[in-house]
Structure 1
Amino acid sequence: MARKVIDEPSEDVVAQARQERSERRSPFVRIAIFIRQVITELKKVVTPTRKELFGYTGVVLVFVVIMMVLVSGLDFGFSWLVSWVFGDGTLPGVN
């Protein structure tokens, strides 16, 4: 079985977090620490290449079109069924 690699914080990070937690800091220092941590996390973000971005966009657009067709078909089918059961049996929107 393959061993999974888990992104766990290092011992230094954990020790530093415990030390910071134990010390009472002013709100401005805590905001500065937060902003520093946000910047550190943003440096880890990997942006997609242009080719990947167009691929992802195409997948999303195709999925949205398929879902629109599915929901439109269900809406038309249920409206016809309700019209047939409770109405005169004609198709809605067709005179």
Structure 2
Amino acid sequence: MARKVIDEPSEDVVANAKRDRAAKRNPFSRIALFIRQVFAELKKVVTPTRRELISFTAVVLVFVVIMMAIVAGLDWISGLIVVYLFGQPGV
């Protein structure tokens, strides 16, 4: 499978990672670095619009209803098979 250019990290990211790894840090600076990285990642988050949110919610609800119907159908079929194999309970 061909790799995309997006999948490859840029040189400055690799250089920063190597420099950070090489530097021995005390626990407090490592925690501060982690928090800075968390905030940097949170700035990249894109909030969906109202229309997208409603659309995503509808897709999830439809999927859940379909899965419930499949599980209920399999449960009903397996119940019929059990009654056929072992007979009516209490008879």
Assess same fold via TM > 0.5: yes
If the length of structure 2 is used for normalisation, what is the TM-score? 0.84
Deviations 1:28-75 (A, max 9, x none): 000101111111111111111110000000011011001111110110
Runs of 4+ in structure 1 over 4 Å off: none
Aligned residues: 87
The aligned residue for residue 61 of structure 1 is 61
The aligned residue for residue 40 of structure 2 is 40
Alignment of 1:10-29 (within 5 A): 10-29=10-29
Match of 1:6, SS?
helix
The answer to which structure, 1 or 2, has the higher relative contact order (CA under 8 A, 6+ apart) is 1
The aligned residue for residue 9 of structure 2 is 9
The aligned residue for residue 82 of structure 1 is 82
| Backbone CA RMSD of aligned residues | 1.9
Greater helix proportion: 2
If the length of structure 1 is used for normalisation, what is the TM-score? 0.80
Instruction: For residue 7 of structure 1, report the CA deviation from its aligned partner.
Output: 4.6
The aligned residue for residue 52 of structure 1 is 52
